[in-house]
Amino acid sequence: MNEKFTEFSLIDFLQSKFATSKKYNDIVLGNGDDAAVIDAGGEKCWVLSTDIQMEDVHFRLKTSTSEDIANKIMAVNMSDIAAMGAKPRFALLSLGLSSHNSMTDTFLKDFSEEMKSICNKMGIVLLGGNVSSTRGPMFVDLFMIGETERNKLVKRSGARIGDRILVTGELGTAAAGHFILSNPEIFVKKKERDFLINKQIRPEARVDAGNFVGKSEYANSMIDISDSLLGDLAHICNASKVGAVLDAKSIYISSELRNLGKQSVIDPLDFAFHGGEDYELLMTASKRDAEKIEEYFYHTLKLRLTDIGEIVSLDEGIKIETENGLHEAKIKRWDHLK
């Protein structure tokens, strides 16, 4: 009777336990995607997301400032909303405060000043929340509501055979930042160290990109990369009942991560495939629509979009093509309960 849950088996267990029945017609999308969706009248719907940042699990107070924490809790939630093709609108905040920060006004003032500044910049309204003390590590838990039109939602489940697999930005950099923070003795040039650590501590949500993908209806499926490229691609494949073939040499690796690979034991490609918390958008679209998305991202958002492979049939599974041939992808994911 003491079987152990992993983070993923627990989420699967809870999702199956609370699988949304179809009896309420104001539930547009139940649990199982990046966010749930409810009806907001007419063609409009509200996209609901929640994500947490926990001290000593998601950040350390030694290396993250209160502004960094505010940025990250907003980014991880905005990323979920963006991955549905929606625009973030409202938030509710839960603060768990421990003695080392609950009583000092500077920490909380800086934190809320930064929250306010991000909210103002993004047009998000913080509508409420709660505070509690804790005898353990501090945490910030956020509920976010985004807005979109019902027929512009981009789900995990829409990938089609023949779709190109596309990803924004650079992969593996957040994991590389985490690696440097955990191994401070590693010699890395200051500029590269700062760049990689910043990607871990201050991830940027692809809000405009996600919003464009939703509005344009160019993509068939989308997810944000929080677990890892392969882990989140597996989410798309499972939900869409398809397989995928990735081309290893097409994966874009930043020069900073490449240099880290030269100076340490790590394999940059391994970080790109298996590293979490990049908060880039992973999507699938027909070849023709993929080109349109790439063009808009390139010209208007100045954001890289890389074509990394193709959606294939379910029975082919998820494979990676390398110089040594085609092999099955091993999906490793960070377990937040371990």
Tokens read off for 16: 């199956």
Smallest gap, in angstroms, from Cβ of residue 95 to a second copy? Answer: 8
Q: Among residues 135, 262, 288, 302, which is the contact residue for a second copy, using CB under 8 A?
A: 135
98 vs 259 by CB, closer to a second copy? 98
- The β-bridge relationship of strands 87-97 and 125-133 is parallel
Q: Which of 41, 121, 182, 184 lies at the binding interface for a second copy (CB under 8 A)?
A: 41
- Which residue type occupies 214? G
If binding is defined by CB under 8 A, does position 292 make contact with a second copy? no
Is residue 59 at the binding interface for a second copy, with CB under 8 A as the rule? no
Supply the minimum distance, in Å, between the C-beta of residue 135 and a second copy.
5
- Taking CB under 8 A as the criterion, the residue among 61, 65, 67, 137 binding a second copy is 137
Residue closer to a second copy, measured from CB, 61 or 186: 61
Least Å distance between CB 266 and a second copy? 24
Size of the site for a second copy (CB under 8 A): 77
Q: What is the DSSP string of 214-278?
A: HHHT--SEEEE-SS-HHHHHHHHHHHHTEEEEEEGGGS---HHHHHHHHHSS--HHHHHHH----
Q: For helices 173-182 and 190-201, what crossing angle results, to 10°?
A: 110
Please report, for residues 75, 251, 275, 281, the alpha-carbon distance to residue 278 in angstroms, rounded to integers and kept in the order given: 11, 14, 8, 9
- Dihedral sign for Cα 205, 211, 216, 219, please: positive
Span from 54-62, 229-237, 278-286, 308-316 in contact with a second copy (CB under 8 A):
54-62
Applying CB under 8 A, which part among 130-138, 243-251, 254-262, 283-291 lies near a second copy? Answer: 130-138
Using the rule CB under 8 A, give the single segment among 112-120, 198-206, 259-267, 301-309 that binds a second copy: 112-120
